[in-house]
Structure 1
Amino acid sequence: MYGTAKGGYSLYGVPLGVLMLEAKFPRIEGDMGNATTWPFPVQLCIVDGVTPEHIVMGNPLDYLDQFIREGQRLIRLGVSAITTNCGFLALLQPQLAAALKVPVLASSLVQIPLVQTTLPPGKRVGIVTVCASSLTAAHLSAVGAPVDTPIAGTENGEEFFRILIRAESDSMDVDKAEQDVVNAALQLVKDNPDVGAIVLECTNMPPYAAAVAQATGLPVYDIYTAVSWFMSGLRPRRFLAQHG
């Protein structure tokens, strides 16, 4: 017997809503915006007219109302938690969590304080980002990360930055993009020998996390690890048989 089923939403069985930037670059498997990346259902929602360039090279606070409005729409549809597909939206973490009234994970950067606790004395977390010059102390402070966290970016690479941020093409050489991310990670650890773990800011970087780990020999965390942790609390695994 199933008892009485309660309605009230348009969607069921989709616990996570993803606030997406408007972009046309390819989203390969592992990219946050590719639904096959996730082992659970996700509801993707485009925030119309807000591009990666707007958020990374501009001020995310200028678009706060749009993100709140679309997050509220996702909640009305039936999702029970919200994330976003740009690490620079870390800047909106406090405001989104306050306005949306459901668990919110705005950026992979929220992992930095947790990852730091796992490291031995004298080691710290480093960040690989799509654009180091745009990732500020304000972004880090919004998620409780140290403002002196070392950062390296892909803006001087051949492919990743120009396709994702400058939108110079809707095609991408995946091998070159991977090399850009790996090169940034190698530069990060070269410049900062005390880095003991890496957090990838960009939600398009998970496809390259394994290559970064292999190249640096360090643990690598990204939006995939963050959302996997996030969802494990929202949908805990059941170990004991349910008793009637």
Structure 2
Amino acid sequence: MTTAPLPPLGFLAVEVSIHRPPGDPFNPSTWPFPLIHTLVPGSSEAQIVTSTTYPPAFIERFVSAGKELAAKGCIGIITSCGFLALAQRELASKLPIPIATSALVQIPSICAFLGSEAIVGVLTYDEERLGVAHLEALGVDAGRVRIKGMPKGGHLRRVIQEGEKYDEIRMEQEMIDAVGELLEKVTGSGDKLGAIVLECTQMPPYAGAIQRRVGVPVYDVYTMGMWFYSGLVRRKPVQWEI
């Protein structure tokens, strides 16, 4: 069994400065392997969320930052905003190491896990902005997906947009309420909810509470990052040793 240090995962951080508890992918304690951050200049929340296409200069800033991470020894890259699914194909084609831009990249596999009649619910930061373009960028059948966003005047939106003081109790309850509305949206139309994907990188700390509310599998950037890294670095598990 090898005891060499694990190589780092790279993290492309957008220009949002908020509290990031364990479970948030920006927090190094979230992961059982090293994490290296780099900030992508000119990557504001407003530009990432409101765009349906990204200009070449925007993409090139992410490519440049990603190449810096590769030069530092990172073996793969994730990002701090699920809306960057829109740039998945372009960034993957331009970077020298693999990149997984969003928790949403898991949806094709999740659809394969479930029966054809099951719906994948997506809880997102902004349902008015997350839509068909993001799903199509990942080869997702939009008919299998229902999207529910966090409230416009809610705590999560105010924390990110206005710098409101982070309150974990309020944040958890807001997400539980929102996923409950998503469940009602799906079942109310006669469909079956098969799984939930949490788009926003601030949501994983509350995944357990969300799952207790809806009772289905819940995926997020943490589940994506763990699976992603597990293929980047293969080591023989200790329980396999004879």
**TM-score exceeds 0.5:** yes
Cα separation, partners in 2 of 1:187 and 1:200, compared to 1, 3 Å: same
In the TM superposition, residue 53 of structure 1 has moved relative to its aligned partner by 2.4
TM-score (norm 1): 0.88
Q: Which runs of 5+ in 2 are unaligned?
A: none
- 1:100 — aligned with what? 95
1:189 aligns with 2:187: no
Does the CA-based 8 Å contact 2:12-2:38 persist in structure 1? yes
Q: For residue 156 of structure 2, what is the aligned residue in structure 1? A: 160
Counterpart AA for 1:97: A
> 2 CA distance for matches of 1:237 and 1:180?
40
Relative distance call for 1:60 and 1:176 in structure 2 (3 A) is farther
**1:236 and 2:231 correspond:** no
**SS of aligned partner of 2:224:** helix
Match of 2:135 in 1: 140
The aligned counterpart of 2:198 is 200
1:41 aligns with 2:37: no
Structure 1 counterpart of 2:170, one-letter code:
K
Equivalent residue letter for 2:103: S
Between stretches 17-26 and 220-229, larger displacement belongs to: 17-26
Where has structure 1 moved over 6 Å in runs of 4 or more?
A: none
| Amino acid in structure 1 at the alignment position of 2:206 | Y
Partner Cα distance (2:59, 2:116) in 1: 38
Classify the secondary structure of the residue corresponding to 1:89: helix
Rounded Cα–Cα distance in structure 2 between residues aligned with 1:224 and 1:128: 15
SS class of match (1:44): strand
What displacement does 1:13 show? Answer: 4.5
User: What does the per-residue CA deviation read over 1:133-157, in whole Å, with 9 as the maximum and x for residues that have no partner?
Assistant: 0002111111121223210000335
Per the alignment, residue 107 of structure 2 pairs with: 112
Partner of 1:169: 163
The aligned residue for residue 9 of structure 1 is none
Instruction: Work out which of the residue numbers 28, 41, 44 in structure 2 matches 1:51.
Output: 44
- Is 1:150 aligned to residue 143 of structure 2? no
Matches within 5 A, 1:2-81: 13-59=6-52, 61-62=54-55, 63-81=58-76
> Deviations along 1:96-119, whole A, 9 cap, x unmatched?
110003211111001001111111
Q: What is the letter of the counterpart of residue 81 of structure 1?
A: G
Q: Which residue of 1 aligns with 2:122?
A: 127
Query: RMSD value over aligned CA atoms?
Result: 1.8
| C-alpha contact (below 8 Å) 2:124/2:149 kept by paired residues | yes
Which of 178-187 and 28-37 deviates more?
178-187
**Aligned partners of 2:212, 2:194: CA distance in 1, in Å?**
14
Partner letter of residue 158 of structure 2? R
Equivalent position of 1:212 in the other structure: 210
Establish whether residue 178 from structure 1 lines up as the match of residue 176 from structure 2. Answer: no
Deviation at 1:170, TM superposition (A): 5.2
Larger fraction in strand: 2
